[in-house]
Amino acid sequence: MDETSGAAAHAVRQLGAADAAAFRALHLEALRAHPAAFAMAYEEECDLPLTAFRTRLDQQTVFGGFVAGALAGIATLQRHAPLKRRHVAMLWGMYVKEEVRGAGLAAAILRAAIARAEREVDQLELYVAVGNDRAGRFYRRFGFEPYGVMRRSLRVDGVDHDAEMMVRMFR
């Protein structure tokens, strides 16, 4: 899927094992820059070998957004494995480099994830940090609705953070 937004062209595709180094670098950048926005901790992920990221890309659906050929955004779509939850997928780990925000890359990545999810599951869920109003507005534009707040969902450096739970229903 290629998209053009303004003067900047970008492309979105599912990442594969060959993208592991770029994925690892961008994932770690996200965790370091916004620790309260992600469940994974930089300290836990930074020492993982590149093979762990290759395996992740082989086993999970990770969309990458590219600007001028360089990976600049990511999001993971993960279908629940238990039989009673297979109709649900989670979107997590969405991040776009600061310098390309506002150019439509996040929207293109999210559209790709939604399109895949709509073919495979009945609903798509995500969590957004309470107080991250920009992200909340962004997800609402794509049909996500809040359905609750997970209190103290993350604890970062001794500070608790709540998460708004959001869902987009397909069927």
Per-residue pLDDT tens over the stretch 74-123: 999 999 999 999 999 999 999 999 999 999 999 999 999 999 999 999 99
Mean pLDDT by 10 residues, the chain (171 residues): 53 97 98 95 96 96 97 97 96 97 96 98 97 96 98 96 98 94
User: CATH code at 48?
Assistant: 3.40.630.30
Torsion of CA 106, 107, 109, 115, to 10 degrees: 160
What pTM was computed for the model?
A: 0.92
Number of domains in the chain: 1
Alpha helices in 48-132 (DSSP H): 50-59, 105-120
Q: Is 74 exposed, middle or buried (0-12, 13-18, 19+ CB in 10 A)?
A: buried
Instruction: Compute CA 89 distance to the chain's CA centroid, rounded to the nearest angstrom.
Output: 12
Measured distance CA(84)–CA(88) in Å, rounded: 9
Q: 123 lies in which domain range?
A: 2-169
Measured distance CA(24)–CA(21) in Å, rounded: 5
